[in-house]
Each structure stands twice: as C-alpha cells, then as structure tokens.
Structure 1
C-alpha cells in the first residue's frame, strides 16, 4: 500500500532524529528526545545558555577580528560532526548559533516535518542557499556550507552578504548576484574561504571537513592565545613586534608626534668614535633599535611607559605582562594571571598601580614597581567581551575601560562602574583622556 506524504515525512523525521542523537555535542546542541508519531511530531534538544550570534552582534556590533577565524573553525567543526552522522541542518543562520562560555554551539539540528518555507521577511531567507530557494526538498551538505559562509560574513561585518529590504531582492541576490564581501577586506584569508562557501553551484563549495582542516592549520584552537596584533598605525608598520620580541626603538617618525625619550637615543658606543660621513647625522641612527627586549612567547599586543619613564610594561598574547627596566634594558618582573591574551596596559599617574585588561574579560591591577598582583578589579563576562583598551584619568580619578562596543568608567579603587558610555556600533579599540582630564576620546573598529 502506498504511504502518504505525511507518513514518509514522519519516517524521515524518525531517521533524522536517530541520526542526530549520535552527533558529537562539543559544537552542537544534543538531541535528547523526540516523538515522530505525535500530532504534531516534535523534537527536543538540550538547552544551551547564551545569546545567539544575532543577539550578540545586534547589541555590540561585529565580532573582534581575532575571534572570527576561531568562530569559523568551531562552526566548521560542528557542521562536520552533523554531516558525519548523515544529517543536513538546512537552516543554519545567526539565530541558530549560540555563543556560550565554552564557544559557539549550533542548535536547531533535528527538524519536525514541515512544508517548504515561504518566507515573507527578508531576514528569514537571507541565509538560504540558491538550491533551497529553487527546490527546497533537494538540499545537501553543500547547502549548510553556503549558509555557513553567510553566517561568517555576518559575524565579521554585522550584515549578511545578500541582505536587502525586500524578500524578492534577497532571493535575486542569492540566486543571481555575487555576495557583498567588501567588509571582509581586513580578513584576506577568510574572505577567500567565505567566497568559496558562497559559490552558486553546490559542487563548487568545499566540504565542512575540508574547511575544518584548512582552518585548523591556521587558527588557534581553544586553550591557545590568539595571534593577532593591534591595528597597525604609522609606528606599528615601522616596528611590528615579532612573535618573540618587543623593541625599544627610537624611530625617525617625528611627523607622527611620538615623543622619543632621551635615554633611548643615547649612544651606547664608546666615547671615542670615528668621524661621521659627511652625509650622516653625528647622532645615533634613529631608524635602529636602541635595545631589544626578549621574553614574550607570543605577539606583543600593547605597551605603556610608567610616568617616571623608568619602566615599560608590555602585554602579550602569551597571557603575561612583563615589566622592563628601560635604562638597563632588562626584564624586572613577569605578571601572570590573565586567562587570555593581554590587550591593554595603563599606569596610574602616581607610578603606584598598573592596570591591565585582556580577552578573558577581566580588569586587573598590579604593583607598578614590583609586578606583584593586587587582584581582579572588575570582570565582564559577556560572550566575546574582552577588555581591549584602557586609559587612566590624569589625576587617577577613573579608569576608562573599553569593553565590547561600550566604555565603562570605573572607580580605580573598587572597580565599580560609575558610568557606561555607549554610541559605538563596533568593537572598542582605543580610548584616551585629554591632558586636563575634561574630555575622553574613543575609537571603535
């Protein structure tokens, strides 16, 4: 006897649920129960705490640059696990990615039988593949890869590559136009990968397993420090820290208004010296390092001089803060306590306290001279929230802490927030007080 379409749908749903139970749950929500015979049929998955990717970006703007490749690798891992069990997600979008304390998780894997969707909201179809829009019943693993490419573009830029105000325009862009990927210019490697995922023909897209292999070779996995450096400016382009070296450098960049302390220009050669060539300056070559400070085992991510110019603090992706005697060019202390890369260091105006912040979302304080830990002054636990920049009021009255897309004005003694400044839509990258302490400037990427 010929079975009805409903019976076939229920049988397919039962097979999908059984397969979904075997999916590795490290990057997915586990399917814990289902009833294919119920009216209507239903699946049940474990509860995954945390905001969705859409909620996070709507609230705080695009993800920080160093987290996007890691997110890509984690989601590729989740899709690879789903596909290995013979399941196709069919609906991966920013609402089906939950950001937990342990990393992103893909949810909504097992679907109850349903008729093909006919979305009227442009956002409802902006992450579908061309083949889904043409023939909803004929979806494959390549369909999920296309959706992944759109999700990653959204994570990095705050908008999907095919977004528009009308459903008809979205459908036309997905099926007939190239994706809008100009916002991925600062991710050259990721841009090529996303473009490959968004190929119109399913057979031209990489598999989730191939994506995972490619990303795993270049992306720090959980437990390793991210390897990105701060946004490059004139100084950073001339003296970009290597993986294991911080440079105390006197550079010929007077136009950038970077003051170079006299002791860094001091000639270290004996008093007796050969006459300088006619076309050379009698002073030290300002394009060469005056001292080389080695010790960090990862990229140097931030620097700050103590007010007395005697100590330089450097923070690194190796999760340490190091203090250097700038006269003797030697390390005097290593400060350990952050659980992620250190992104910002700043001294109090009285040489007593060093403030540091990092990817672990903590604001910490240290004895500015000995490096002894004083404790965790404040914690910001939102997913992907990290302290990216700091500035101390010239009189020490407050600390400006750049967290997400906001600034917290913190009491330097208690860590309590006195005010929250909002307005940026991107990730905080720089913050600075005016010399008289009456103004605060900020930049978000």
Structure 2
C-alpha cells in the first residue's frame, strides 16, 4: 500500500512539472480556434447528401476551387435553390463562372442537368479566378406542396429545399421544389431504393405524386418493407425546331416538360433537355408559362408550353399573352392517404400520330401502391373527360374484372377512334374505389390528314 501511494505521488509531481515547464517555455499566444463557417455548411454526416466523389480535375493552370469545409452544391447562386450534393472539405473542382454579385462560384458538375452547379464563395478558396465569365442565374424553381400526412402516416421531411421530380432520377423533369421542413405522405420507394414517391394533389400535378431523393429527407413511420414503385416511362427528349434569327427564345436550364397547356395538370408532349432552345410564340396570362413552337410531329397545333421557372429567355419583353387550351377536368374527389396508383406502361405512347378516323385499342397498366385492395364489387374504371371536349371512345365507365391487391397491376383497355379532324386529342380516365378516386391517367394523340 505504501509503495502504491509513493508511485501515485511521483506521477502527480511529474505531470505538474511538465505543465509548468510547458507554460514557461513559450511566449507565443494561444492560436485562435478555427473559424466555424455559418449555416451553409452541411450538417452532420447522415443528415446530408453523400459527398460528391467524382468531379472533373482542373488541368494545370485552369481556374480551380477548393472547399474549405463540407459545403452544399446548389442548382443556383443562393440558398433558395435546391441542393444537388455536398462538396467535401478539401475537394477541388474546376471553376467555370461566377454570379453577378460575386457571392457564388459555378463549378463543373456533371451530376447537374446543366453540367454546372453553384458553391457559396465564403466556403471556397479559388485560384486563377481572374476573368471568370459572369453566368446568369437560373430562375428559382416554383414551390411544390405535398399532401399533408397524418401523424401516424409514413412520411418524409425535407432537410432543405429539394427537387420534386416526375420520376426517380435527375434526368426526370422537376415539378418544383419542396421547402425546408416540408412533410410529405410517402406512398412507396423506387426500385433502386434511392427515391421516395410522395403524394401531391392531382388537381395540381395530374399523376398525383412526385419523387424526392432519399438523401435529402428524413423518414418517419416508414414500414420495414415499403412498396416498391416502378418508374413510369419518361417522355421522349425532343429538340424543338431552331428559332428564327432575332426571335424571342426560351432555353431549358433543366430537363423540362413541354406540355399541352400552361399547367402541370396538362399532359406532357415532350421533354426538352438542358440547353435546348425554342422560339417563344406567347405567354400565359399570369406570365408563369411560355408558349413555344414545336414540330407538328409532336404537336399538331405546332405549340407547347414550358414552365418559366425552368428556362432562361432572350428578346421576350414584348411577347403577347395568348389564350390557353381547355384545361383537363377537375377531379372532384381527391385521393385519400391510403389510396394511390402509378402508371406502369401505356400503349400507344403519348404523341402517337393517327390518320383521321383510325381505330385503335388504348391500354394502360396501373399498379396499386396504396394500402387498400381495389375490390371488383366496389370499384369502377371511369372516364373523367376529354381533351378539347372531343371524346375518342364511346365508353364512359366499366367495372373492374378482378380484385387488385396492393402491389398488383391491372390493365385498362378502351377501344378508341381518332376524330375526323386534325389536331391534338386525348382522354382522362380514373379508377375509383367506393366513389373515391384512387388512380388517374390519360392519353394524348396527334391526328393528321
């Protein structure tokens, strides 16, 4: 016992001596703590997108940016824009531009639809930045409002502004952004497990749901094996006809749906890829949509509509307001939280060209991704209406021929006839359960002489 006390006393004395010597050995001031960047820095690991690991390496002498700390990579030069990912502290990226107010740098970023993305200048060290071109900021995307979930429903909460897309991938056009803290009702997950399908009011977005990245949201009440939802077929990417010299133009800043009318409730005709440019013919009364010229092969009228939030414009100051096509019918019974479906496939595809008077069988395959079985005794397939009030079928409704359990698919087949006049036509259909709409789908055809 006595030896143990002596050893402890010796150790304590030695430590005290070391500390006193260290304090007296240097007159240098204590270094200031490393400055902690403000709110733009990404939160703790697991609460942010994975750090981007593959970026083009700047060649020797090329302008470059090095992240001081983990920093969000955004689609535009402010915190109003959604986050693509995170640039980890110490990572280097190739500089391609700077914002007009010099607060954000644009870097080469292949994961972004436009190939570039934005980083807050406060969190970057740059070299060779003299003479960088000033890049125009893309429009701020519109807000998409989720259908509010009940407390016990499966749901996600956006950690920051996040794109809500029409399919599970960044090449699918966005409906808009969900704000930081927005809660959405989850109806399923993508086949690769990287995207949640979240309910949206079908009066705003016709299909009734959109997709958000699992890396940008927190989950609550998610079942152990969520329903896997197959991605719908993306509309074809089509390049619009080249604009006339000096004409007003719209250039896509992201993958953008070009629709038959000025609203996300109108059917999609084509998808314009980032950089695609079309001639502007008019605008909607509220200025939120541009009417652009298309080939008559995809739009018999020769026009389509692009959301102004996803295009940059030139020479568009004097574009006239033009009348909108007839809007799709309003759904009188919005779907409840337990009812949902997705369109698995359809034949023929939207935009198919028919001769006047041609007959064809329209088929849609839909999947029940809700929690309720569609019982044959209590369900109907019902026509909601027709594009431009010109029906293609003589059928208004038909019963389901079998029960459709969660995860099962059902094929709807309707005989149709192309009208005797040229133009763009289509019909809106639904599945109802106990008079409650659970599934919404449509077709669009082009009729030529």
Same fold (TM over 0.5): no
Question: Which structure carries more strand by proportion?
Answer: 2
TM-score by length of 1: 0.23
TM-score by length of 2: 0.22
Question: Which structure carries more helix by proportion?
Answer: 1
Q: Choose 1 or 2 for highest CA Rg.
A: 2
